[in-house]
Structures are given as C-alpha cells and as structure tokens.
Amino acid sequence: MRGLRCLGLIVLLLFAIATFTPLANLINIRMAGVPHVEPSDAIVVLGRGGADSDGVLTNRSLRRLLLGVGLYHDGFAPLLVLSGSAGEVHARTTLAHGFGIPEAAILTTARARTTKEEAEEIARLLLPLGQRRILLVADPIDMPRSLALMEHSGFVVRPVPTAATGPSNPESRLGLLRDLITELAAWTYYRLTGVL
C-alpha cells in the first residue's frame, strides 16, 4: 500500500502544481516558440475543435481563423488555406467571406482526419502550385508537432501561434495540462510509428 500512497502523493502534487502555479502557462509559452511573421506564399490555418451542431466554430477554431484573416488583411500572403472537418471548413469559409476575403484567395480541405493527414492534404493543394513558404497558424501546444509535420511534407514553415500565455484560472490550467499530455502522447505515437 505504500506504493499506492506514494503514487497518490505524486498525483496530488502534480495536480497542485498544474492547477495553482503558472507552470502549464510557461510550458505553453515555450511550446509556442518565437512567431515568425514575414511575407509568404500562403497562410495555413489548421483545424481545431470543429464546429458545434449549430455550425458555430469552437473558441479555438475561431481564434485560429481570426489570426489567419488578420495576417491576410495585413498582406503577409495572398492565399488563405482553411483545414478541418467539413462543418468547420464550411463555417470558416463563410466567416472568411464575411471578413472580406475573396473566394479566389481561399483554398480549403476537409478530408483529413488527423494532423498528419492535414499536412498531406495541404501539401497536395499547395506544392503543385509552387507554394512552399507558409505561415502556419496553430495553438502553442500544437505548434511543435504541426510544424514538424508540415516541414516533413515539404514546406518552409513560419510559425504563427495563437495567444501564447494561455488562461490563468485553475480550471483552464487543468485543461492546458490535459492538452499537454495529449500532445505528448501524439508525439510519442508519431515517433513510434516513424511518422516523425
């Protein structure tokens, strides 16, 4: 039973540290890396969280789209690539049009089921057009793996993470921790299967 008590103590300490200290935020900032915003061939906005049943984007998906739209209007790239589930892509495209982005400037892909497949689909869209330099919009936690996958697919990637500091209330920090653990598991899976 001593082993169980030790394990319980470790879990409790991890919970306390993750919830009541800014450690998760610091890790989030670290994973975001340094944004690298400069003129590129395309802005790639990866999917995240999809859309609700009423067609409204999730918070994270919307944040990414808004950042991508902002980059387009600031003139950093002539193309906006929107990826995600079918509902997410539809909602994003509708919003992008509403924000004044012409249809000719938007490319979409809704066939991917994983981040790896997203990278492959976007490569199929852009590489034949000679568009290799991309501004990659993703959450800080997703950025390292997404960046690695896009580079593996043949792109020159300039990362543009969404807000790096992240939320600071206990519940949201626990959510960040959960996302960190999920991302670590995904990294491990991709390394074990030879994808990265």
Partner 1 sequence: MGSLALLGIVALTSLGAYLVATQRLGWHHDTLPTALGETLECIGLAAIFLACNLAVGGALVFGFRIFSGRFISVYGLNDIALVLLSLLQAMVLHSWRRSR
Beta bridge partners of 135: 43, 158
Q: Residues 78 to 117: which contact partner 1 by CB under 8 A?
A: 113
| 3 vs 100 by CB, closer to partner 1 | 3
Torsion of CA 183, 87, 54, 59, to 10 degrees: 30
* Residue type (1 letter), 72: Y
78 Cβ neighbours under 8 A, 6+ residues apart: 41, 42, 105
By CB under 8 A, residue 188 contacts partner 1: no
By CB under 8 A, residue 56 contacts partner 1: no
By CB under 8 A, residue 194 contacts partner 1: no
| 115 vs 153 by CB, closer to partner 1 | 115
Using the rule CB under 8 A, give the single segment among 1-9, 57-65, 120-128, 131-139 that binds partner 1.
1-9
Distance of alpha carbon 111 from alpha carbon 84, whole angstroms: 8
Distance of alpha carbon 103 from alpha carbon 106, whole angstroms: 5
Residues making contact with partner 1 (CB under 8 A) = 1, 3-9, 11-12, 19-20, 113, 169-170, 178, 182
